[in-house]
């Protein structure tokens, strides 16, 4: 923990504490509370060590997937900590008070969230720390109260101890944001590496978290000459509401009816008019179309390009962020076509859409959002065909006529009763002209479209809300068409039954065109690693939301996207197709993008570099681009 060499005014002491905390915590191995014995085996398992290549600190588990430490432990030197992915690879060891054992978990940090006013930050880890109970936040401390400080920092005799140490400190002062404590009576001191560790009330019942270690004189610590054992703690009592709101599951809430966010034809969301080449349009998302004004991490939207004058693509991204080097929707000249995307709102609650070529109208409709404290969890399933109007699977045989509708049951098979929404691949087959589909829970209605299709075959991933009976109605506004529908996943009624989404900035993980790459061969497959790009262990990811784009196919066909675990059978004619189609394409198409929910790596670490498998089921070659938009853990019921 950092040292304050001279105490001047209160304002200067606070400034020095923050400045030195970042510089003196790092640069060496973990160290621990001085002058005391290791904690008894099995106690205080919620205390954690958090480490990057820059520094090591202590921390404390406050929710199954979240630890709390000081913000200065996670910040770059001389910089403020910024919410989002950590600036460098960071791991948390929790449930292991003796670091020489294999107990507990070693987990990658996937996101950090600083408190707006205190030197406190939350760090989200890749999956829940199963078997380790989080600590509860207690009431404020009083002067004279004795509290227990724990940490993995230096001791009086060890530079890098393996065991968690703890010592008793008396509270000597209480201010709005901090406590002062002194360990002189018990010959305890806080040392380098203890920063971010817990100050606990350990009376009757379970320990309670009162504060985090911030700065110390380090008297009695190995290599230090100062004799003072006083320290400053940053208070966390009173932060329970912030912790609860920040660590709640990031669940899906479906809207029915959906809402219109942007229509450049009418001026909804932004001024009316065609969007020209290299134009970017910003439009509000939060507080619009049924989306709450706050507490939303991402929205699920249908993005439509309307009659571009040239071949183009649209890119949807958070306003104020760097435009990703990937497309959200590809459209050929004259087409009206859509895709489903998951995108974060920017800091101002807005989303941007960029058009690089020609003139085009853009329509964006919202069908749901991800938030804490409401909604359901996500479960990915093996892609399963549930409806085919051509052969009567799940319905009666026959096309759906113009302005006709048909209702389908989606629960009872891979989707359990009680599911509130389903993620589907919907293929419109045999269309003679362009139009669109609507979808809504049985007995309801919705004025927004879920899929804009073109002549021939159009397939797209969509999310559809279900009635209490597990049924949804599809309304066809165009020529008579067949529908072929496969289930890719579902949303549980209760958050605990599924997993939360971890949205990521649009991350391109595969582009077979890169560096002069070759396209996928006919009947060829491609294994994709999704976990390494986001810095998590192979068994942390249970499912993912992807955009899959086919570019320049030389033959008509489709892709399958499935878990990479295998085994995959082959015959003299090529691989056996074991999954349902996504991304149907026709020879000569420029590019086509679809959203896919996919179950990831059922077999675990054995297939660490092959999380998913993509198979080109066609007689020609095609380039493929895969973009990751979010991922989620394996649900408890999986």
Q: What is the pLDDT of residue 24?
A: 34
Whether the predicted pLDDT of 373 surpasses 90: no
Whether 431 and 522 share a structural domain:
no
- Find, among 168, 175, 179, 172, the residue nearest to 234 by Cα: 179
Average pLDDT over residues 240-249: 88
470 with 443: CB under 8 angstroms? no
Signed CA dihedral, 491, 496, 499, 503: sign only: positive
Average pLDDT over residues 588-616: 81
Q: What is the pLDDT of residue 37?
A: 62
Average pLDDT over residues 499-505: 91
- State whether residue 122 is helix, strand or coil: strand
Give the domain range for residue 421: 378-496
List the single range of 24-38, 54-68, 478-492 with lowest mean pLDDT.
Answer: 24-38
**Domain annotation covers residue 274:** no
230 with 171: CB under 8 angstroms? no
Q: Is the peptide bond before 567 cis (omega within 30 degrees of 0)?
A: yes
Q: What is the pLDDT of residue 3?
A: 28
Average pLDDT over residues 89-108: 94
User: Which is more confident, 220 or 617?
Assistant: 617
**DSSP string covering 205-224, please?**
SS-EEEEEEEEE--TTSTT-
Asked which of 461, 476, 496 is the last residue of a domain, the reply is 496
**Domain annotation covers residue 508:** yes
Instruction: Report pLDDT digits (tens) over 298-316.
Output: 999 999 999 999 999 999 9
Whether 397 and 509 share a structural domain:
no
469 with 511: CB under 8 angstroms? no
Q: What is the pLDDT of residue 28?
A: 32
Whether the predicted pLDDT of 447 surpasses 90: no
Domain count along the chain? 3
**Domain annotation covers residue 139:** yes
Asked which of 245, 278, 305 is the last residue of a domain, the reply is 245
Specify burial of residue 69 (Cβ count, 10 A radius: 0-12, 13-18, 19+).
Answer: buried
- Cβ neighbours for 186, distance < 8 A, ≥ 6 positions apart: 35, 36, 167, 168, 169
Whether 537 and 449 share a structural domain:
no
Confidence band (pLDDT; 50, 70, 90) for 248? confident
Q: How far is CA 494 from the centre of its chain?
A: 19
Instruction: Report which listed range, 185-194, 214-223, 375-384, 536-545, is most confident.
Output: 375-384
Percent of the chain at pLDDT above 70? 92
List the single range of 33-47, 339-353, 370-384, 397-411 with lowest mean pLDDT.
Answer: 33-47
Whether the predicted pLDDT of 412 surpasses 90: yes
Q: What is the pLDDT of residue 608?
A: 55
Whether 184 and 201 share a structural domain:
yes
Whether 117 and 241 share a structural domain:
yes
Whether 15 and 129 share a structural domain:
yes
Placement of tokens 């991204």 in the chain:
317
CATH number, domain of 540, equals 2.60.120
H/E stretch holding 463 reads strand 456-465
Whether the predicted pLDDT of 325 surpasses 60: yes
Whether the predicted pLDDT of 4 surpasses 50: no
Bridge partners of 378, per DSSP, are: 491, 499
From residue 80, how far is each of 70, 117, 118, 301 by CA, in Å? 12, 12, 12, 33
Whether 468 and 522 share a structural domain:
no
- Find, among 267, 324, 274, 328, the residue nearest to 300 by Cα: 328
Percent of the chain at pLDDT above 90? 74
Q: What is the pLDDT of residue 33?
A: 62
- Cβ neighbours for 14, distance < 8 A, ≥ 6 positions apart: none
CATH number, domain of 96, equals 2.40.10.120
Mean pLDDT over all residues of the chain? 89
Instruction: Report pLDDT digits (tens) over 330-354.
Output: 999 999 999 999 999 998 999 999 9
- Find, among 581, 368, 370, 344, the residue nearest to 459 by Cα: 581
Q: Is the peptide bond before 257 cis (omega within 30 degrees of 0)?
A: yes
**Domain annotation covers residue 440:** yes
Q: What is the pLDDT of residue 14?
A: 27
Whether the predicted pLDDT of 21 surpasses 80: no
Whether the predicted pLDDT of 31 surpasses 50: no
Q: What is the pLDDT of residue 226?
A: 86
Q: What is the pLDDT of residue 602?
A: 59
Average pLDDT over residues 409-438: 96
Asked which of 245, 267, 296 is the last residue of a domain, the reply is 245
Whether 61 and 46 share a structural domain:
yes
Whether 230 and 174 share a structural domain:
yes
**Domain annotation covers residue 191:** yes
The phi-psi region of residue 269 (left if phi > 0; otherwise alpha if psi is between -120 and 50; otherwise beta) is left
- Cβ neighbours for 107, distance < 8 A, ≥ 6 positions apart: 91, 92, 94, 125, 126, 127, 129, 537, 540
User: Which is more confident, 526 or 637?
Assistant: 526
Whether 457 and 511 share a structural domain:
no
Whether 474 and 510 share a structural domain:
no
Q: What is the pLDDT of residue 472?
A: 97
Instruction: Report pLDDT digits (tens) over 535-552.
Output: 888 788 999 999 999 999
Q: What is the pLDDT of residue 60?
A: 97
Confidence band (pLDDT; 50, 70, 90) for 446? confident
Confidence band (pLDDT; 50, 70, 90) for 84? confident
Q: What is the pLDDT of residue 547?
A: 96
Average pLDDT over residues 98-114: 93
Q: What is the pLDDT of residue 94?
A: 96
Whether the predicted pLDDT of 280 surpasses 80: yes
**Domain annotation covers residue 270:** no
**Domain annotation covers residue 251:** no
418 is written with which tokens? 């009680």
Whether the predicted pLDDT of 89 surpasses 90: yes
**Domain annotation covers residue 161:** yes
Instruction: Report pLDDT digits (tens) over 450-484.
Output: 999 999 999 999 999 999 999 999 999 999 999 99
- Find, among 544, 409, 390, 557, the residue nearest to 473 by Cα: 409
Q: What is the pLDDT of residue 636?
A: 60
Whether 491 and 522 share a structural domain:
no
């Amino acid at each position: 923990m950092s040292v304050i060499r001279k105490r001047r005014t209160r304002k200067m002491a606070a400034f020095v504490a923050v400045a030195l905390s970042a510089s003196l915590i790092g640069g060496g191995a973990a160290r621990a509370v001085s002058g005391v014995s290791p904690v008894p085996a099995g106690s205080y398992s919620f205390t954690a060590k958090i480490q990057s290549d820059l520094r090591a600190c202590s921390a404390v588990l406050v929710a199954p997937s979240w630890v709390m430490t000081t913000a200065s432990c996670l910040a770059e030197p001389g910089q403020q900590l910024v919410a989002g992915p950590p600036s460098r690879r960071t791991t948390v060891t929790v449930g292991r008070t003796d670091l020489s054992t294999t107990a507990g978990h070693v987990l990658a940090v996937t996101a950090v969230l600083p408190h707006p006013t205190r030197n406190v930050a939350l760090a989200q880890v890749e999956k829940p720390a199963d078997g380790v109970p989080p600590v509860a936040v207690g009431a404020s401390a009083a002067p004279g109260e004795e509290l227990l400080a724990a940490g993995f920092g230096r001791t009086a005799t060890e530079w890098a101890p393996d065991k968690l140490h703890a010592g008793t400190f008396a509270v000597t002062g209480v201010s709005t944001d901090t406590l002062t404590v002194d360990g002189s009576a018990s010959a305890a001191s806080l040392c380098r590496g203890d920063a971010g560790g817990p100050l606990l009330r350990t009376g009757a019942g379970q320990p309670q978290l009162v504060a985090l270690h911030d700065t110390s004189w380090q008297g009695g610590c190995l290599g230090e000459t100062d004799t003072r054992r006083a320290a400053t703690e940053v208070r966390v009592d009173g932060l329970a509401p912030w912790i609860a709101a920040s660590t709640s599951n990031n669940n899906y809430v479906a809207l029915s009816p959906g809402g219109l966010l942007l229509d450049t034809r009418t001026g909804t969301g932004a001024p009316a008019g065609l969007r020209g080449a290299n134009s970017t349009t910003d439009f509000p998302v939060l507080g619009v179309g049924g989306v709450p004004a706050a507490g939303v991490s991402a929205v699920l939207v249908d993005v439509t390009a309307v009659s571009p004058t040239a071949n183009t693509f649209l890119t949807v991204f958070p306003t104020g962020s760097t435009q990703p080097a990937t497309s959200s929707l590809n459209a050929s000249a004259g087409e009206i076509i859509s895709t489903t995307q998951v995108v974060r709102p920017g800091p101002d609650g807005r989303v941007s859409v960029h058009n690089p070529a020609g003139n085009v109208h853009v329509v964006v409709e919202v069908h749901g959002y991800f938030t804490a404290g409401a909604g359901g969890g996500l479960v990915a399933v093996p892609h399963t065909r549930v409806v085919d109007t051509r052969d009567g699977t799940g319905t009666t045989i026959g096309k759906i006529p113009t302005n006709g509708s048909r209702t389908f049951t989606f629960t009872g098979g891979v989707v359990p009763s009680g599911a509130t929404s389903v993620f589907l691949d919907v293929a419109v087959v045999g269309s003679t002209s362009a139009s669109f589909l609507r979808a809504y829970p049985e007995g309801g209605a919705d004025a927004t479209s879920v899929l804009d299709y073109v002549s021939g075959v159009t397939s797209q991933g969509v999310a559809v809300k279900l009635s209490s009976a597990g049924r949804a109605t599809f309304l066809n506004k165009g020529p008579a068409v067949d529908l072929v529908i496969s289930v890719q996943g579902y949303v549980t009624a209760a958050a605990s039954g599924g997993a939360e989404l971890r949205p990521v900035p649009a991350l391109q993980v595969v582009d077979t065109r890169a560096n002069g790459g070759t396209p996928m061969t006919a009947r060829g497959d491609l294994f994709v690693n999704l976990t390494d790009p986001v810095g998590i262990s192979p068994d942390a990811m249970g499912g993912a939301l992807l955009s899959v784009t086919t570019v320049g196919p030389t033959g008509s066909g489709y892709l399958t996207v499935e878990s990479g675990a295998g085994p995959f059978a082959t015959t003299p004619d090529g691989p056996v197709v074991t999954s349902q189609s996504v991304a149907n394409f026709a020879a000569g198409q420029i590019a086509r993008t679809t959203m896919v929910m996919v179950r990831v790596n059922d077999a675990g670490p054995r297939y660490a570099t092959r999380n998913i498998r993509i198979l080109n089921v066609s007689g020609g070659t095609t380039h493929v681009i895969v973009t990751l938009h979010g991922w989620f853990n394996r649900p408890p019921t999986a």
